[in-house]
Amino acid sequence: MDTQRHSETVYFHIDVNNAFLSWEAIYRMEELGETEDIRKQDAIIGGDISTRHGVVLAKSQSAKKYGIQTGEPVVSAMKKCPGLKAYKPHMDYYRKRSRELMTLFEKYAPVVDQYSIDEAFLDMTGTYSLYGEPVGFAHKLKDEIRQTLGFTVNIGISSNRLLAKMASDFTKPDKVHTLFPDEMKEKMWPLPVEDLFYVGKSTAVKLHSLGLHTIGDIAVCDPNVLRSHFKSHGEVIYNFANGIDLTLTDRTEAVQKGYGNSTTIPYDIKDSESAYHTIMKLCESVCGRMRKDHVQALVLSVELKDSNFVVRRHQRTLLSPTDVTDECYAVACELFDELWDGSPIRLIGVAASKVEDGGNRQLNLFDLESHDKKRDLDNALDSIRERYGNGAIQRGSFYTSKSSAKKKQDH
């Protein structure tokens, strides 16, 4: 990076290399005392050899050579590789390692936006005087993670999140890459269209049929042609191909109020499953009210009160404002996991704040399709409840949770 960039906006996107496999390998060696590193086996995470149920969450490099894909059924993966070893995920341990990683990030970055359990954006703008040139510091940070936490990461660096994310997906593992706007033509445009965000298999086939084979082909294409074939989707991929990050447009806050709900439980909650059930009910209430008022929230918080009346609170700023129940529920459960110390719980609260006009939601390039599907589900549930009452329909997750909670209450 040249000196002209010292004062520019700088983002790191940091992604754990093969997180679930790496964390499971560390768990088995450090917690269970095993001597063999499963990363060196034909191995997958996400299944059980005895039942052959589930889907592949992660795969080793050697397993990848058999054509095993993340997301495919375990039974299919085992047919491709008869000697394949499958390991059930230990999500509690993975969340623990994730929290350690985010804590390390917070030592250095003024702003840390966790995107998922194994990746985050770090806003490193203005840190040149503290850490020096960003690429050099990224190498030091990458090495510190490997030496202190025992796993490797890739770090992508750019002036916006989209390009930082693209950069972190270049060659792996344990690498640092830059992708600034003036580097797109050399580093990004020659890549196949399949490597561009929000270009799935069917979109890629159609792009190839139009003679668009690289990201550069999309970038220089007439946007009207893309719109005619892909509608609004065409405009999105045109912007992405030109390095335009739609998540960074200015947000204007609409209504200066928050939405919250809490409940005092008639019995002490002592397990996370019962707590998750309560959190889902609270998220349904909070998000339903936001949708009714046509607003969305950028900050989500969780409050816990234990049997000794000790109150704890934890909050997170989201990448994009939302009113989607499943999105808020996922974050609320993560906040609960980070907050709860195992003490019996008497009260749980969920609150949404930094509320904005729902009609002006900015696109989050990482959740475009799933967000719309989840919102359609919420709207359908809202419609049924409005017509037939709140008890007319519930999510399937409630029934298993209720059964478990009732058993615990009876005991």
- The string of DSSP codes covering 321-373 is EE--HHHHHHHHHHHHHHH--SPPEEEEEEEEEEEEEGGGPPP-TTTHHHHHH
- Average pLDDT of the chain is 83
Joined tokens for residue 122: 């770090």
Please count the other Cβ atoms lying within 10 Å of the Cβ belonging to residue 393: 12
Is pLDDT above 80 for 401? no
1-182 CATH: 3.30.70.270
Tell me which of 247 and 411 has the higher pLDDT. Answer: 247
* Cα dist from 163 to 56, 178, 240, whole Å: 28, 8, 9
Amino acid at 91: M
Among 6, 225, 295, 237, which Cα is nearest to 124's? 6
Per-residue model confidence (pLDDT) at position 318: 83
**Top CATH class, 259-410:** alpha beta
Four-way CATH pick for 189-246: 3.40.630.30, 1.10.150.20, 2.60.40.10, 3.30.365.10? 1.10.150.20
User: What is residue 73's predicted lDDT score, i.e. its pLDDT?
Assistant: 85
Domain boundaries, the chain: 1-182, 189-246, 259-410
* Beta carbons of 181 and 163 less than 8 angstroms apart: yes
- Give the tens place of pLDDT for each residue, 153-182: 999 999 999 999 999 999 999 999 999 999
What's the rounded mean pLDDT across residues 353-371?
Answer: 59
Rg (the chain; Cα; Å) = 23
pLDDT band of residue 328 (cuts 50, 70, 90) is very high
Report the distance separating Cα 254 and Cα 233, nearest Å: 27
Q: What type of residue sits at position 152?
A: T
DSSP of 135-198: HHHHHHHHHHHHHHHS--EEEEEESSHHHHHHHHTSS-SS-EEE--GGGHHHHTTTSBGGGSTT
Neighbours of 319 (CB within 10 A): 17
Identify the residue with better confidence: 23 or 272: 23
**Secondary structure class of 46 (helix, strand, coil):** coil
pLDDT of 142 > 90? The answer is: yes
The residue to which tokens 């050099």 are assigned? 136
| pLDDT of 138 over the 80 cut | yes
d(CA 12, CA 160): 9
Active site residues: 119
> For residue 178, which of 206, 146, 154 has the smallest C-alpha distance?
154
